[in-house]
């Protein structure tokens, strides 16, 4: 081990055994527990090489760089990477009022619809990778149908002078070449916003776990993306009231909560100063080779492999329930190593997922919790 670049964690598997009436042992393994977990910081190239050589089972936090074509034993898991939004410059001569601002936004979003590239065209702030997408699917489909086609205003002669800048290579890839500008005056911007950066200022770490509880919800991401661009006072008040009720739990039924979420996102999406155009997918790679690979891999829709569910479900093919798990990660440790205010960097969170043994785990596709080391057993009195 060199400094903190590599970490070996020794875990003793706890086995609960019950005895059947026949006298044969019936083992129950609540989690597949590797008895040694090694986490090592490495570059994307080294991560790709070691995956191909079968010397690590997964590369966490980024996409490895492979030097040859992938065998069938290397596969990817997908989680939400970033949002892509279109921002209209308030100083633009093409955006003098609400109608012209919407025309600018729709012209740029319409271009993205026909040339998505690495970006998934999805003009709604809640994606299919969010656990609450089911409550918004009709609104998302309506937004896609509306914004995928250009309006008459978007095709007006004034729009021929439209200039668009971008903040990343992925964002630039969806901008029409005749509209793209690297510097100088601009009318609209296509901006890629990594999810980890979006929630960074709202996240709080306590005892090694991230909060608040709604940090994984789509409606909260929508508020972070769009709330600052709402300029109508009435819409701003309605959005703020709905947000406060959702965060404080000021609702009585599930239906009321869902309606609040839909109202919040619809209000935020009604402004054209900032319009969600799509999202990107983060891909992390694992080895499923027999017998050095892994299987039964659980992962989070937001955090991917860097989540407690991965460590608590991953099963090594070498052994029925334990063995040696070797992981590569793309970032070195940078936070304090203590369970109260530390472990809040990517390396630390992955390590705490291995060291901690919580009673509850975050659901992989939701902001709620699932049982890990406890059971919801209802007692019954014998007659």
Query: Which residues contact residue 350 at a Cβ distance below 8 angstroms, ignoring those fewer than 6 apart?
Result: 39, 60, 61, 306, 311, 327, 329
Residue 23, class by beta-carbon neighbours within 10 Å (0-12 exposed, 13-18 middle, 19+ buried)? exposed
Judging by DSSP bridges, how do beta strands 274-287 and 74-88 pair with one another? antiparallel
Largest CA distance in the chain: 84
Contacts of 96 (CB under 8 A, 6+ apart): none
Pairwise pLDDT comparison (337 vs 265), residue with the higher score: 265
pLDDT > 90? residue 367 = no
Q: How far apart are CA 317 and CA 15, in angstroms?
A: 19
pLDDT tens-digit map of 125-158: 999 999 899 999 999 999 999 887 655 555 566 7
For 240, phi then psi, to 5°, come to -65, -40
**What pLDDT does 89 receive?**
95
pLDDT, tens digit, 9 for 90 and up, residues 328-340? 999 999 888 887 7
The two beta strands, 188-194 and 164-166, are: parallel
Single pTM value for the model: 0.82
pLDDT at 383: 58
Classify the phi-psi angles of 304: left when phi > 0, otherwise alpha if psi is within -120 to 50, otherwise beta.
Answer: left
Q: Is the peptide bond before 212 cis (omega within 30 degrees of 0)?
A: yes
| Choice between 90 and 323, residue whose per-residue pLDDT is larger | 90
The residues, any chain, with a CB within 8 Å of residue 152's CB and separated by 6 or more, are: none
C-alpha 118/C-alpha 173 separation (Å) is 8
DSSP code of 368? S
Q: pLDDT at residue 289 above 80?
A: yes
30-87 pLDDT tens trace: 455 677 889 999 999 999 999 999 999 999 999 999 999 999 999 999 999 999 999 9
Query: Regarding beta strands 120-121 and 274-287, do their DSSP bridges make them parallel or antiparallel, or are they unpaired?
Result: antiparallel
**Whole-number pLDDT of residue 15:** 32
d(CA 185, CA 166): 12
Give the whole-angstrom CA distance, residue 382 versus residue 377.
Answer: 15
What percentage of the chain exceeds 90 in pLDDT? Answer: 56
Cβ burial of 60 (10 Å; 0-12, 13-18, 19+) is buried
User: Which of 128-137, 260-269, 271-280, 373-382 is least confident?
Assistant: 373-382
Distance in angstroms (rounded) separating the CA atoms of residues 309 and 304 = 9
Taking only the tens place, the pLDDT of each residue in 198-235 is: 987 887 766 556 678 888 899 999 999 999 999 899 99
pLDDT band at 6 (very low <50, low <70, confident <90, very high): very low
Give the separation between CA 250 and CA 264, rounded to whole angstroms. 14
Which pLDDT tens digit goes with each residue over 174-187? 999 999 999 999 99
Domains and CATH numbers, the chain: 6-73+288-371 (no CATH), 80-280 (3.10.105)
Please give the full DSSP string across 11-58, using - where no structure is assigned: -PPP-EEEE-TTS-EEEE-SS---SEEEEEE--HHHHHHHHHHTS-SE
């Amino acid at each position: 081990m060199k400094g903190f670049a590599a970490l070996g964690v020794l875990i003793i598997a706890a086995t609960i055994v019950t005895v059947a009436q026949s006298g044969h042992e019936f083992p129950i393994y609540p989690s597949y527990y590797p008895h040694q977990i090694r986490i090592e910081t490495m570059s994307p190239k080294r991560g790709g090489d070691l995956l191909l050589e079968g010397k690590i089972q997964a590369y966490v936090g980024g996409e490895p760089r492979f030097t040859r074509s992938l065998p069938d034993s290397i596969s990817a898991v997908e989680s939400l990477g970033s949002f892509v939004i279109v921002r209209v410059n308030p100083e633009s001569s093409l955006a003098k009022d609400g109608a012209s601002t919407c025309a600018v936004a729709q012209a740029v979003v319409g271009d993205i619809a026909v040339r998505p590239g690495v970006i998934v065209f999805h003009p709604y702030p809640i994606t299919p990778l969010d656990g609450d997408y089911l409550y918004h699917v009709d609104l998302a489909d309506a937004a896609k149908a509306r914004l995928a086609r250009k309006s008459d205003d978007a095709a007006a002669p004034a729009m021929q002078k439209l200039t668009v800048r971008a903040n990343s290579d992925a964002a630039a890839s969806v901008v029409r070449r005749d509209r793209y500008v690297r510097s100088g005056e601009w009318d609209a911007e296509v901006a890629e916003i990594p999810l980890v950066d979006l929630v960074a200022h709202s996240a709080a770490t306590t005892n090694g776990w991230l909060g608040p509880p709604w940090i994984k919800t789509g409606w909260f991401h929508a508020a972070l993306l769009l709330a600052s661009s709402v300029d109508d006072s009435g819409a701003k008040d309605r959005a703020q009231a709905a947000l406060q009720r959702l965060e404080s739990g000021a609702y009585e039924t599930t239906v009321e909560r869902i309606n609040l979420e839909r109202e919040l996102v619809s209000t935020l999406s009604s402004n054209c100063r900032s319009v969600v155009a799509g999202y990107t997918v983060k891909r992390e790679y694992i080895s499923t080779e027999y017998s050095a690979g892994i299987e039964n891999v659980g992962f989070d829709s937001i955090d991917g492999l860097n989540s407690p569910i991965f460590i608590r479900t991953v099963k090594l093919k070498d052994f029925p329930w334990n063995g040696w798990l070797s992981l590569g990660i793309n970032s070195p440790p940078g936070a304090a190593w203590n369970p109260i205010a530390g472990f809040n960097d990517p390396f630390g969170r992955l390590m705490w997922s291995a060291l901690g043994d919580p009673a509850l785990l975050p659901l992989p596709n939701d902001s709620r919790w699932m049982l890990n080391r406890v059971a919801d057993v209802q007692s019954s009195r014998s007659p």
